Amino acid sequence: MDIVEFLEARIAEQESAIRDGSFVLGVSEDENGSEDKTSLGKRMLDECAQKRAIIASWKEAAEGEGISEPSEARGTVAIARRAMLTILAGSHREHPDYDPAWSPDLPTDIAGDSAKH
């Protein structure tokens, strides 16, 4: 299983859990102060769609550049797109199918902090 297949499977699991109601974080309030149980689920499904868009963008670019494995990415843009995949996968580190080789090297410095030191 490569990182793209892994991410697509996690997104499908999340969407399924949201739709069948087994993934409930709580409720939010609408502008009238009433409970809005649909808004959180809708936002979460929107997030799944956005993740799918990132993956689709990767696939399109990889196909255009003849890349079959994300580790083959070369050049600034290709590496940035690969980084998006590893960042998305990083939220699933505890999953048994997660490959530690996908672990993103996230920056620890906050932009603008270097000027303060």
Amino acid letter, residue 46 = D
Query: How does the average pLDDT of the chain come out, rounded?
Result: 78
Distance CA 107, CA 48 (A): 24
pLDDT digits (tens, 9 = 90+) for 63-84: 888 888 887 877 777 788 888 8
| Domain spans in the chain, listed from the N-terminal domain onward | 3-19+38-103
Q: Which residues lie below 8 Å from residue 23, measured CB to CB, with a gap of 6+?
A: 14, 17, 44
Q: Residue 21 has which token pair? A: 């109601």
pLDDT digits (tens, 9 = 90+) for 30-51: 567 666 555 677 778 888 999 9
Residue for token digits 């960042």?
Answer: 87
